[in-house]
Amino acid sequence: MEKMKAGERSGGAGRPGDEPITILAIESSCDETSCAICRDGVILSNIIAGQAIHEQYGGVVPELASRAHMQNIVPVVEAALKKADCGLDTVTAIAFTQSPGLIGSLLVGSQFAKSLAQALGLPLLAVHHMQAHVLANLIPGAADVAPLAAVVGQSGAEAAERSGAAPRPGVSAGVEARPEFPFLCLTVSGGHTQIVLCQSPLEMKVIGETLDDAAGEAFDKSAKLLGLPYPGGPLIDKYAREGNATRFLFPEPQIPGLNFSFSGLKTAILYFLQDQTAKDAGFIADNLADICASVQGRIVSILLNKLKKAAKQTGAKDLCIAGGVSANSGLRTAFREMGVREGWNTFIPSFEYCTDNAAMIAITGYYKYLEGDFAPLTVSASARAEW
Ligand code: ADP
Ligand code: MG
């Protein structure tokens, strides 16, 4: 992306040095329309409008998503400004998701952002959605550090101490905990599964990724085989809580290096269910919790075994998870437990910053603003994007 200096940005006069930096950010890459306001790196509001219309089709219908974004975007932006108690006259820059995503959806957000920037004479910040998922871990107060105590029945600091780890002061202490660079992030969403090495807010490298389905797809496709509605990931999570994860054993693929594969698992689950329901038509209904727990357990072990390998290879001690699948309670708990065993400082964004949201676009926009990484008004949305 073309870099511009602050004085040459897409519009507007320079910002006097001592005024706050207020970013208005828009996310519209898939089926959530979201707007957030961030002032000096602190999130003041994060409004998210979902799109229930896709449920009846068992997946996101791109054309319907674009139309819903067009209906939602103005009220969502107004609500975000109102909640932040912020007028458009105090906004310093406009950030938006430029890539990757559904092109029609991205176009609604990007055109809106560009029009607003031009009308207000403000600079524009073009954000990569996957980079933003990673940086959700840097949102102040976003780190969900509480569950560790619940997992191990003691405070995070005590747990890490007993495991031989030496947590940095503050890491386990509460809401201000943030990962230190360089850190590793496992980004798991409906469209992506990546292990990312982060050297600084804007310097990231993908060191492992899926060769076929994403982890979220593995959840959603498994749920579909079980007759659950879309998106099935959260439902598998819900039923898995009551189930026995060791009841059914699904295979772990042997993929070299740090890459993932989930398509074999999907096929194994399909054949398993076909065999069992041929013998007993009520098999799924009678064993739903155990099947969900076993499927979830395998997806989680595939993810975390690769993350452990990546931590060993890079020597990273601060590890994060991000993306929609990081809302999964089995993954969150297993990640925390592995962190205690391996001596990692572990970070997970709170639920509202895991699935698609504009707060993560705002925080990434904020770091881009600090770097002077502005985009010209000619920038266009892109469905696919290299890092
Ligand atoms: P994308 O941006 O690629 O559309 P998101 O970051 O919005 O993806 O995440 C959506 C994905 O996360 C879906 O596949 C959904 O099933 C999955 N997901 C959300 N919550 C959970 C959960 N609790 N357990 C498992 N998967 C989940
Ligand atoms: Mg996403």
Per residue in 150-204, pLDDT (tens digit) is: 333 334 444 443 333 344 543 443 445 799 999 999 999 999 999 999 999 999 9
Token pair 């390998």 is found at: 309
Q: Mean pLDDT over residues 216-229, rounded? A: 96
Nearest residue CA, atom 25 of ligand 1?
233
Q: Which residue has the higher pLDDT, 376 or 149?
A: 376
> Strands 183-188, 318-322: parallel, antiparallel or unpaired by DSSP?
parallel
Question: Ion ligand 2 — residues with CB under 5 Å?
Answer: 189, 356
Q: What is the CATH code for 6-137+355-371?
A: 3.30.420.40
Q: How many angstroms separate the alpha carbon of residue 5 from the centre of ligand 2?
A: 29
pLDDT digits (tens, 9 = 90+) for 312-364: 999 999 999 999 999 999 999 999 999 999 999 999 998 899 999 999 999 99
**Ligand closest to the CA atom of residue 213:** 1
Residue 342, ligand 1, Cβ within 6 A: no
The answer, yes or no, to whether any atom of ligand 1 lies below 6 A from the CB of 324, is yes
pLDDT score at 144: 52
On whether the pTM is more than 0.95, the answer is: no
Which residue, among 310, 328, 327, has the nearest Cα to 319 in the 3D structure? 310
Q: Which atom of ligand 1 is nearest to the CA of 223?
A: 16
Query: pLDDT value at position 15?
Result: 60
Going by C-beta distance under 8 Å and a sequence separation of 6 or more, which residues neighbour residue 220?
59, 190, 230, 231, 232, 233
Ligand nearest to the CA of 50: 1
Please indicate whether residue 351 or residue 214 has the higher confidence score (pLDDT). Answer: 214
Instruction: Give DSSP secondary structure letters for 258-323.
Output: T-B--HHHHHHHHHHHHHHHHH-TTHHHHHHHHHHHHHHHHHHHHHHHHHHHHHHHH---EEEEES
Instruction: Evaluate: CB of 156 within 6 angstroms of ligand 1.
Output: no
**Beta carbon of 216 within 6 Å of any ligand 1 atom:** yes
Residue nearest to atom 20 of ligand 1 (CA): 234
Question: Which of 85, 80, 59, 374 has the alpha carbon at shortest distance from 230?
Answer: 59
CA atoms of 269 and 28, how far apart (whole Å): 33
Which atom number of ligand 1 is nearest to the Cα of residue 324? Answer: 9
265-274 pLDDT, tens digit per residue, is: 999 999 999 9
Span 65-79, mean pLDDT? 95
Please spell the DSSP secondary structure of 104-120, one letter per residue: HHHHHHHHHHHHHHHHH
Query: In the chain, where are the structural domains located?
Result: 6-137+355-371, 147-348
The secondary structure of residue 344, as a DSSP letter, is -
Fold of the domain built from segment(s) 147-348: Nucleotidyltransferase; domain 5 (3.30.420)
Is the beta carbon of 27 within 6 A of some atom in ligand 1?
A: no
Write out the two tokens for 377: 């008004």
Q: At what angle do helices 283-314 and 215-225 cross, to 10 degrees?
A: 170
**Cα 324 to middle of ligand 2, angstroms:** 6
Using CA atoms, how far apart are residues 84 and 358, in angstroms rounded to an integer?
A: 14
Q: Name the residue of 97, 127, 236, 325 whose CB sits within 8 Å of the most ligand 1 atoms, as the mutation to test its pocket.
A: 325
Give residue-wise pLDDT tens across range 262-307: 999 999 999 999 999 999 999 999 999 999 999 999 999 999 999 9
CA–CA separation, 162 vs 160, rounded Å? Answer: 5
Residue 143's pLDDT is what? Answer: 58
Strand ranges (E), the chain = 22-27, 33-39, 42-49, 93-99, 124-128, 183-188, 193-200, 203-209, 318-322, 345-347
Dist. CA 158 → ligand 2 center (Å) = 34
The reply to whether 147-348 shares the fold of 6-137+355-371 is yes
Mean pLDDT computed over 70-97:
97
Q: Which atom of ligand 1 is nearest to the CA of 191?
A: 3
Distance of CA 245 from the midpoint of ligand 2 (Å): 27
